[in-house]
Amino acid sequence: MSGAFLFYGRDQKMITVSILGASGYAGAELVRLLIGRPDISIVALGAKSSAGQRFDSLYPSMAGRVDHVLQTLEEASKHPVDCTFVALPSGEGQKVVPQLLAHARRVIDLGGDFRLKDTALYEKYYKHTHHAEEVLQEAVYGLPELNKTAIAGARLIANPGCYPTSAILALLPAIHHGIIESKGIAIASMSGISGAGRTSSVDFSFSELNDNIRAYKIGTHQHTPEIESVLQSEMGKSVTVSFVPHLVPLTRGIYTTIHARLMKQMNTAEVLVLYREYYQTAPFVRLREQIPQIANVAYTNYCDLTVNADDRTEQLVITSTLDNLIKGAAGQAIQNMNIMFGLAETTGL
């Protein structure tokens, strides 16, 4: 795709990209968000089972805008582009990322293969053996509100999970200022069905999820160690969370409510001052006085937060909401790409 030139870094040139896993929901969202940018050239779209099909046959809404035929992952990996987005299921990304780093100037992995530095934790929660330890240690956790400087100089970004983004953004200021206890943080998150990926499983069918809500993977969800490890790194000591995810009959969106015990007596106004100060340079985090709603963040890269200090229970109650396919996946990946190439992080978002 052609377009006007734009400055990034010291060079004036088009940013060339490829997307592996373009047939999935997150991959397709990357295409949708990037295709209208005059500074981006999508060189190749790769897929596994859908290779050989036109992208717009899978996503007819993109007819007239995207004329790519989906290549095999091997074919799409060979293009020497500036940046490759890897939107493959966990366990698959580690198979291609080491080779991609030889061809792509930057790699942004949207799966879970490079989020945990501890391979034992990865293998326990993801049920895969890790075969890419040689590049794992150089991966930067791609939460711009936390690691912007490191992201700017990284070759490999581990894009955060959607649930962890909602939970970590909600907790970071409280953890940073040490106003909550590090143990017993209770996180309840509700996710739209698209968070499960583009699957034909009967568990995610309309008849199973319509007029229904259910928790799953209580105590065993793969995002639990991701949340704990990031918060632990920020706090400098062990952090434990009880994370309970739920599926709700929505297409997209994540809604998270968190309870944490306050270390000292504080009112809501005092907590809000700390949160506003922490996020004053974060364009995609909005502190709201009213309770957030998924409808206000759907199809955007925003995360909306509200806090409430409850004197009666000595609890800090935090609510966050975001679009799992955008701030929880493709939008955050593009935000990271913008930072890596010296662009304003809001570009195209």
Residue ranges in the chain assigned as alpha helix (H) = 25-34, 55-58, 73-77, 93-103, 119-126, 133-136, 144-152, 162-176, 206-209, 223-235, 268-278, 331-340
CA 20 – CA 24 distance, rounded (Å): 9
CATH 3.30.360.10 in the chain: give the residue spans. 163-323
152-173 per-position pLDDT tens digit: 999 999 999 999 999 999 999 9
Question: What's 243's DSSP letter?
Answer: E
pLDDT digits (tens, 9 = 90+) for 118-153: 999 999 999 999 999 999 999 999 999 999 999 999
CATH architecture for the domain at 163-323? 2-Layer Sandwich (3.30)
Q: For residue 312, count other CB atoms closer than 10 A to its CB.
A: 5
Residue 298 has pLDDT above 70, yes or no: yes
User: What pLDDT is recorded for position 204?
Assistant: 65
High-pLDDT (> 90) share of the chain, % = 85
Going by pLDDT thresholds of 50, 70 and 90, the confidence category of residue 268 is very high
Do 333 and 195 form a contact (C-beta atoms < 8 A)? no
The per-residue pLDDT for range 15-52, each reduced to its tens digit, is 999 999 999 999 999 999 999 899 999 999 999 989 99
Positions of CATH 3.40.50.720 in the chain: 7-138
Looking at the whole model, is its pTM more than 0.85?
A: yes
Among 47-56, 108-117, 206-215, 322-331, which is the least confidently predicted range?
Answer: 206-215
pLDDT of 196:
64
Active centre residues (catalytic) = 162
What's the residue count for the chain? 349
pLDDT > 60? residue 2: no
115-125 tens-digit pLDDT? 999 999 999 99
Q: What is the mean pLDDT of residues 240-245?
A: 97
44: helix, strand or coil = strand
Q: Give the mean model confidence (pLDDT) for residues 213-228.
A: 93
CA distance 334 to 328: 11
Give CA angle at 254 (89, 57), nearest 5°.
Answer: 50
CA–CA dist 272, 277 (Å, integer): 8
- The correct CATH number of 7-138 out of 1.10.3090.10, 1.10.15.40, 3.30.465.10, 3.40.50.720 is 3.40.50.720
What is the pLDDT at residue 10? 46
Tell me the average pLDDT across 246-272. Answer: 95
